[in-house]
Amino acid sequence: MTQPAQNRMTAFDTLRALAERPGGRAITPLFASDPNRAARFTAAFGDLTLDFSKSSIDDTALDALFALAAAAGLETFRQRLFAGEQVNETERRAAMHMALRAPADSGLKAIMPRGTENAAAMAGAERDKMRAFVEAVHAGTIRGATGQTFTDVLTIGIGGSDLGPKVATEALTIGSADVKMNAHFLSNVDGHAFAEIQKGLDPARTLVLVASKTFTTLETSMNAAAARAWIVGALGETAVAAHFAALSTNLKAVAAFGMHQDRVFAFQDWVGGRYSLWSPVGLVIPLAAGWDKFQQMLDGAWAMDCHFRDAPLRQNLPVLLGLAGIWNTNALGCATQCILAYDDRLRRLPAHLQQLEMESNGKHVTLAGERTGWDTCPILFGEPGTNAQHSFMQLVHQGTRPVPVDFILAANAGHDRPDAHRALAANAFAQAEALMRGKSETEIRAEMTKAGASQADIDAIAPHRVAVGERPSNTILFDRLDAFSVGRLIALYEHKVAVQGCLWGIDSFDQWGVELGKQLANGILPQLQPSAERPGAQTYGHDSSTTALIHRFKTLRGEA
């Protein structure tokens, strides 16, 4: 084991030992012994506050977490990240998505194998091109093949080319009276998805964006071909150039598709897919919500970038959020993480964070290529509150394994039902308090006795109502959900991911596990064609189960 890995292992052992102290997993005694705990374990950046006091992290544990950060070289990593160094070590790339929202003259650079690039200036130039296109579409200067203005925009992409733009677009348009265009998203290659989208679209008034850096992603390519056939069938071959734009770097493939070069918007290798919503991949966002809101979203993200870059570690929100997650994962042994956004406009946030965190930090080897020896990313899931309270929160309260929760809430709603928002907030605060406090059998028996229940009913029912409590949560509270706060919130989680990746000693910016499935699918697809011979284990080299499934699939289709 290398020395950095040994240093981490020692630090993780210390954290586990602290959690195993008598009462080391308890939360309520910490509040009982410290009237100022909530204030001391809350950090703020403007109106954005992070309350991580409802955890079993005490002063000793917090010091140990910062000792881990020191052992992992978090300060140096943060400097290297913003210096544009190749922190994506397996792909020899910088991770300079911050340049996408930085001012063009900020000087952010990306050090790449081909040389050092002025990332902020490059991003700014492409942003100017995006803005000109968006404003021309909104003004009606750019129209469809029949001369009609565009009313709808369909984005075709998958993964980072879908989830990030979708969560941002919904956050900025749901409930808004100022929606510029109706946004639609097509990611699943399942034919039912496009069939459903087509029902509400007029091809003459639909602009189609194809988001794929290489323009070769299987699902995106097939869906783009289907959309092309739909446009051509309704408007003719010459309509392709008027109705399509590409978010890609493969100019040759884009031209072969039939798009003009001035409808191609590029982004660089230092932009990872799950960090690309700020780039031309997110072109749907200003088309739907307007350029001003898109710029405000970029400004919010850049504000968080500057906070993460400049704030001391002990007052740094991404660092503290990351450390709270490290405690839950590596000290308490929690294998899951729940995201509950109490705002329906953020209903796709858990899905975006699933990719952001699990694709970034779902790794089992260190940067040195060694097995980590410690757990990395937990499994993320979530739903909007209060819907979740009537589904999986039963398990979170009474299941056998603790599930840490992030509660996300704005103090001021964007609608005219203040009573509804107070009820929403009451539920969010109550859920966090209930997870921590729980309810003992003694309390339940007293409550049932006071209500006049019989002793037999009390004995039979009381154990089933017990909630053990002492379950950790964070609460992220801010003024209101607007474009600025949306950008700031997503960037908060982006940097949390980077912090945790540094502490785990892994590469947060590659995704080799995704590639394996793609490679195998590309090999299997030709074998599913009607003209392919009957598959045999020796013919195609699959295991017997995969071979049999291919044959059974073709048999059910009458193609074996």
Catalytic residues: 359, 390, 518
C-alpha to C-alpha distance for 375 and 35, rounded to whole angstroms = 34
Q: Which of 434, 435, 432, 462 lies closest to 446 in space, CA to CA? A: 462
Tell me how far CA of residue 109 lies from CA of 104, 166, 183, 266, 310, in angstroms. Answer: 11, 28, 33, 17, 17
Distance of CA 51 to the CA centre of its chain: 21
- CA torsion through residues 209, 214, 215, 220, sign: negative
Instruction: Tokens for 224, please give them.
Output: 């783009």
Instruction: Tokens for 531, please give them.
Output: 């003209």
Sequence-separated (6 or more) residues with CB below 8 Å from residue 380: 336, 337, 338, 339, 350, 353, 354, 357, 358
What is the bridge-based pairing of β-strands 244-247 and 42-45?
unpaired
C-beta of residue 535 within 8 angstroms of C-beta of residue 550: yes
Q: CA end-to-end span of the chain, whole Å?
A: 52
C-alpha to C-alpha distance for 130 and 277, rounded to whole angstroms = 13
CA dihedral 135, 140, 142, 145 (to 10 degrees): 150
What is the bridge-based pairing of β-strands 48-51 and 473-480?
antiparallel
Amino acid at 117: E
What is the bridge-based pairing of β-strands 206-211 and 152-156?
parallel
Helices (H), 174-217: 191-198
DSSP classification of residue 330: I
- Neighbour-count burial for 67-80, b at 16+ CB within 10 Å, e otherwise: ebbebbbbeebbeb
Helix, strand, coil shares of the chain, percent, nearest 5, are 55, 10, 30
Distance of CA 424 to the CA centre of its chain: 23
Sequence-separated (6 or more) residues with CB below 8 Å from residue 524: 542, 546, 550
- In a 10 Å sphere around its CB, with 0-12 CB exposed, 13-18 middle and 19+ buried, how is residue 252 labelled? exposed
Instruction: Tokens for 147, please give them.
Output: 């001369």
Helices (H), 334-454: 349-361, 393-398, 418-437, 441-450
Q: What is the three-class DSSP state of 29?
A: helix
Element holding 304 (H helix, E strand): helix 291-310
Q: What is the three-class DSSP state of 189?
A: coil
Taking each helix axis from N to C terminus, what angle separates 163-173 and 349-361, rounded to the nearest 10 degrees? 150
